[in-house]
């Protein structure tokens, strides 16, 4: 038979139990408050679109600030940055969904055989770095026509890209050639129609080469955005936004209805990123960015 418990020991145990309960309750309250604070700070996004932003549109916002503010808005990526910017992105637990820095830029691209060696070398040197950082895509360009036929440019671009595909496939990084308008912003640029770009994808014949379908640029060149996306989505590896005309905010101040475009992209099963690439016309540029993210979050 157990010995009887003294009144003093019983009171001591009860006091200890009460203190434990009180401490547990206090801890629970603190954890609940912390959880509520995180929930309040976290953006209320639906999760169907992976959001990114092009850093060059916010030239007056330091990259550190853009990363911090973008993260708070729900961005997963800040893009069109170079290899040197990897540490800053990593610090903020962000990726670069589209790495830039290819030699020659937009105007001197893959449609010229004399550009191939330096472009191929750039990708061979940097594809491993991009892969190690966990970034999915690198940008490339056709270059300007400068009197060259589209047919010849197509052959030349395919020839140069095929030299890079084994490295891209090995490192599981996708090269994306951007579709740009040649009417307003990039006069004489060759890859200015989705039909030409899709034909190039077919000639290259690798899942590691796709198109960057820039909605702003293609609305200017050919319109019919949703139909084009539905018919050719397998060749589109990335998307950019922008208000038409003017390339400013993507709200009701311009002609495109982005919620419907985003729904069409989602319906294709797209799992990549959509990047805001409009130039804010308003004073509070980060408020414009947040609005753009919310408009596209369908």
- At 195-243, the pLDDT tens digits run 999 999 999 999 999 999 999 999 999 999 999 999 999 999 999 999 9
CA distances from 253 to 35, 131, 242, 245 (A): 38, 39, 12, 9
Q: If pLDDT is split at 50, 70 and 90, which confidence band does 7 have?
A: very low
User: Is 34's pLDDT higher than 70?
Assistant: no
pTM of the shown model:
0.86
Contact (CB, 8 A) for 116 and 163? yes
Among residues 273, 267, 227, 217, the alpha carbon closest in space to that of 247 is found at 217
CA proximity to 297, closest of 273, 278, 277: 273
Using one digit for the tens of pLDDT, what is the confidence trace for 123-158?
999 999 999 999 999 999 999 999 999 999 999 999
Task: Report which DSSP code applies to 104.
Answer: T
Helices within the chain (DSSP H only): 7-41, 63-73, 86-91, 116-133, 150-171, 194-204, 215-221, 225-232, 258-267, 285-296
CA–CA distances in Å: residue 161 to residues 140, 156, 267, 290? 10, 9, 29, 36
Report CA Rg, the chain. Answer: 26
> Alpha-carbon distance 294 to 201, whole Å?
32
- The whole-number pLDDT of residue 44 equals 85
Count CB atoms within 10 A of the CB of residue 182: 18
Q: Give the whole-angstrom CA distance, residue 54 versus residue 98.
A: 9
* CA pair distance 252, 158, nearest whole angstrom: 39
pLDDT at 31 exceeding the cut of 80 = no
Mean of the pLDDT values across residues 52-67? 98
CA atoms 88, 93, 94, 99: torsion sign: positive
Looking at domain 46-296, its CATH architecture is Alpha-Beta Barrel (3.20)
Among candidate residues 174, 172, 178, 114, the one with its CA nearest the CA of residue 140: 178
Per-residue pLDDT of 173-183, as tens digits, reads 999 999 999 99
| Other CB atoms within 10 Å distance of the CB of residue 167 | 19
- Is residue 243 within 8 Å of 254, Cβ to Cβ? yes
Task: Express as a percent the part of the chain with pLDDT over 70.
Answer: 86
Does the pLDDT of residue 169 top 90, yes or no? Answer: yes
């Amino acid at each position: 038979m157990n010995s009887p418990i003294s009144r003093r020991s019983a009171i001591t145990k009860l006091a200890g139990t009460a203190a434990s309960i009180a401490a547990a309750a206090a801890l629970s309250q603190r954890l609940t408050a912390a959880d509520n604070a995180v929930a309040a700070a976290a953006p209320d996004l639906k999760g169907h679109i992976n959001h990114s932003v092009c850093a060059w549109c916010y030239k007056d916002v330091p990259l550190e600030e853009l990363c911090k503010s973008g993260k708070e808005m729900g961005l997963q990526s800040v893009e069109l940055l170079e290899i040197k910017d990897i540490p800053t992105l990593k610090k903020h637990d962000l990726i670069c969904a589209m790495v830039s820095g290819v030699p020659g830029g937009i105007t001197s691209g893959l449609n010229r055989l004399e550009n191939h060696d330096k472009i191929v070398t750039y990708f061979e040197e940097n594809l491993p770095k991009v892969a190690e950082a966990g970034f999915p895509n690198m940008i490339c360009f056709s270059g300007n026509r400068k009197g060259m036929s589209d047919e010849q440019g197509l052959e030349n671009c395919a020839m140069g890209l095929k030299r890079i595909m084994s490295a891209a496939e090995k490192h599981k990084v996708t090269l994306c050639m951007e579709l740009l308008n040649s009417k307003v912003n990039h006069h004489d640029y060759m890859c200015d129609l989705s039909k030409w770009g899709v034909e190039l994808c077919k000639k290259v014949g690798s899942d590691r080469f796709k198109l960057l379908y820039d909605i702003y640029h293609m609305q200017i060149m050919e319109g019919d955005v949703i139909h084009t996306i539905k018919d050719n989505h397998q060749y589109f590896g990335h998307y950019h936004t922008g208000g038409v005309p003017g390339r400013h905010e993507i709200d009701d101040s311009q002609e495109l209805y982005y919620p419907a475009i985003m729904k069409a992209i989602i319906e294709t099963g797209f799992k990549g990123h959509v990047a805001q690439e409009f130039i804010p016309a308003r004073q509070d540029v980060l408020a414009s960015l947040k609005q753009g993210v919310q408009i596209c979050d369908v």
